[in-house]
Structure 1
Amino acid sequence: MKGAPRVRRARIAALTAGALALTVALSGCGKADPYYSGSSKTVTLPVASWAGAEANVAVVKQLLEKELGYRVKAMQMDEPVAFDALNSGKAQALLEDWRGVPKKEEKYVKEKKTVTYEGPMGVTGHIGWYVPKYYADKHPEVRTWQGLKKRYKDFRTPESGDKGQMLEGSPSYVTYDAAIIKNLGMNFKTVYAGSEAAQIKEMQKNYAARKPFVTYWWTPQWLNSQLDLVEVKLPPYKKGCDADPDKVKCAYPHTALAKFFNADFARDGGKAAEMLRKFRWTTADQTKVVKWMTIDKMDTDEAAARWVEENKDIWSKWMP
């Protein structure tokens, strides 16, 4: 859920566990390229388990299929698995990466050269620790980690015992919270909800009851428009302070979310690779689609189709 936030995060209530295949009938056959599957050209895109990543893929799916004649297969994958899939050629393009697996990035991009870095996708992400504003207003000291440290008893739960609970999402997200807690000498324990959906449910329940809670969280995220949260100030991020996962005691960075391609696709992917390379939209664009998907309960493909219909001036620049 995003130097990057090592997540990952944060997350799609709309996606189910396991593989998700998105298929749509195609028209036309176009120029032959390595991504034909039978009578259709197939591009496989990893989808991380949070709504922003789903919105990215849903929008480019509309364009690849309806404008360029491809078939898009979206597969839910955590960040490390997605990099392995790009390396092996089982997936072609990762559209939102929080730079959370630097060792795999080093191995596949720089050493093996089986994966290519394709630049930012337009959204900046940030991970941090958050408390509800109603609690921060009552206890303003918790706006810093030092003040939060002193008030750990307010956050104790049956799951955390005599320690304060740091609410986490999925165990698959690459986070540093346990190390930060240990290295700052805080009497807290990370407790995993199990998924983004479960984490959101727990946050909403505590918020409705006006209970204190502190959680690993990120921006952009659709829930931030419904819950008034305040970020806890951790020691400032400095380049390299998160180089050793066991020694981290600094804040998470702000990260320009990035695109990565399978190297063969980057070279021989034809119009699909051209379009995905040009794909770049803003946080506002992504948030609009996510709002339709989550708050307004629109079907994912319908939300993406609506954005495509309303924003030809933006996506036309991505076309080959």
Structure 2
Amino acid sequence: MTKLTILSAALLTAVSATTALAEVESLDPIKLTTHDWTGQIITTTIMGEVLKKAGYNVEYVQADYIAQFAGLKTGDLHVAMEIWETTGREAMDDATNSGNVVNMGSTGMDAVEEWWYPAYMEKVCPGLPDWKALNDCAAEFATPETAPMGRYLGGPVTWGGFDDERVEALEMDFEVVHAGTDAALFAELESAYQREAPIVLWIYSPHWATAKYDGKFVQFPPYSAECYSDPSVGMNPDAAYDCGKPTGPIWKVAWTGVADKWPGAADAIKAFDIDNDAMGTLVGRVDLDGESIDAVVADWMANNEANWSSWIK
């Protein structure tokens, strides 16, 4: 290769890079929050990598699921890719009502989060999945630490979900024990399932667990917004949360300044879309098959370019 050719190639590369950078509105980092479960990190990494393809500067910031809204309101954080209707609606509504946070639409995924038990537990507690059967069978779910109360294994405390309040409101003979991490939650399920040991725990979907394990969600009294906000509504006239959890979309939210500072990025975030089945498969590849999140995301990007490239047109 001649010196002239090398120089020409270098100039072309520099011009292309300058053009790409000129197309984005600001090179300040767009801060995307990550949390403590695999699916959310995958969702966020896909979005971040797509934004990078468009020339944006992206920064991933570890943040608490509920507490992150303080940073989103002030603009210290910019984008949260998974706010679940099941557990994050109240915090999201409070943030959007402030005028400083905007709902960027659904991710395309629908959320279910609820108490769940393996199918083999119906042998010792035949009234399931009716929640009232749990009280009749509480001793079957007890551990040495909770006996004679049954044990419900909840998610990490930071996930919210009002399980402690639900147990109290429905006068259930259960003690809520919170798993320290997402990984610990499913490790305990795997251990119990292999031994057919008693367990009832928090399971969520989209996730690989509902496909891998045979079981059912507990059927609580139907959710209503009033059940959460008005103690007089529901089975217990003196307590709120005497019903099941809501279901619904998994939302994307952003600091309102994102649309002003990075309008192209805001459009891409709004356009992001993936379904439950696709996400469950990606999470399984990480949690079950041991692949890295970066490798799984890179593979998804390579095989879905026609999809994600439309987000940044």
* Interval containing the TM-score (normalised by the shorter chain): 0.7 to 0.9
**Does the aligned pair in 2 maintain the 1:44–1:74 contact within 8 Å?**
yes
Alpha-carbon distance change, 121 to 290 in structure 1, aligned in 2, over 3 angstroms: same
**What aligned pairs does 1:1-320 form with structure 2 within 5 A after superposition?**
30-31=21-22, 35-37=26-28, 42-65=29-52, 67-99=53-85, 100-102=87-89, 104-111=91-98, 113-243=99-229, 247-320=240-313
Cα distance in structure 1, aligned partners of 2:149 and 2:280: 35
Question: Over aligned residues, Cα RMSD in angstroms?
Answer: 2.2
Q: Secondary structure at the match of 1:250?
A: coil
Q: Calculate the TM-score normalised by the size of structure 1.
A: 0.83
**Does the aligned pair in 1 maintain the 2:24–2:56 contact within 8 Å?**
no
Larger Rg: 2
**Does the aligned pair in 2 maintain the 1:166–1:190 contact within 8 Å?**
yes
Q: Secondary structure at the match of 1:144?
A: coil
Give, in angstroms, the shift of residue 303 of structure 1. Answer: 0.6
Q: How many residues align?
A: 289
Opposite residue 252 of structure 1, the aligned amino acid is K
Structure with the largest fraction of helix? 2
Q: What is the aligned-residue identity percentage?
A: 24
Cα distance in structure 2, aligned partners of 1:175 and 1:27: 47
**Does the aligned pair in 2 maintain the 1:44–1:93 contact within 8 Å?**
yes
**Does the aligned pair in 1 maintain the 2:33–2:80 contact within 8 Å?**
yes
Give, in angstroms, the shift of residue 141 of structure 1. Answer: 0.9
Deviations 1:32-69 (A, max 9, x none): 767424xxxx211011211111111121222122x212
Which residue of structure 1 aligns with residue 14 of structure 2? none
Alpha-carbon distance change, 272 to 258 in structure 1, aligned in 2, over 3 angstroms: same
Opposite residue 203 of structure 2, the aligned amino acid is W
**Does the aligned pair in 1 maintain the 2:107–2:272 contact within 8 Å?**
yes
* Runs of 5+ consecutive residues of structure 1 not aligned to the other structure: 1-25
* Runs of 5+ consecutive residues of structure 2 not aligned to the other structure: 1-16, 232-238
Cα distance in structure 2, aligned partners of 1:44 and 1:251: 34
**Does the aligned pair in 1 maintain the 2:206–2:277 contact within 8 Å?**
no
Alpha-carbon distance change, 34 to 125 in structure 1, aligned in 2, over 3 angstroms: same
Cα distance in structure 2, aligned partners of 1:242 and 1:216: 19
Q: Calculate the TM-score normalised by the size of structure 2.
A: 0.85
Opposite residue 260 of structure 1, the aligned amino acid is V
Cα distance in structure 1, aligned partners of 2:283 and 2:26: 29
Opposite residue 45 of structure 1, the aligned amino acid is L
Alpha-carbon distance change, 58 to 101 in structure 1, aligned in 2, over 3 angstroms: closer
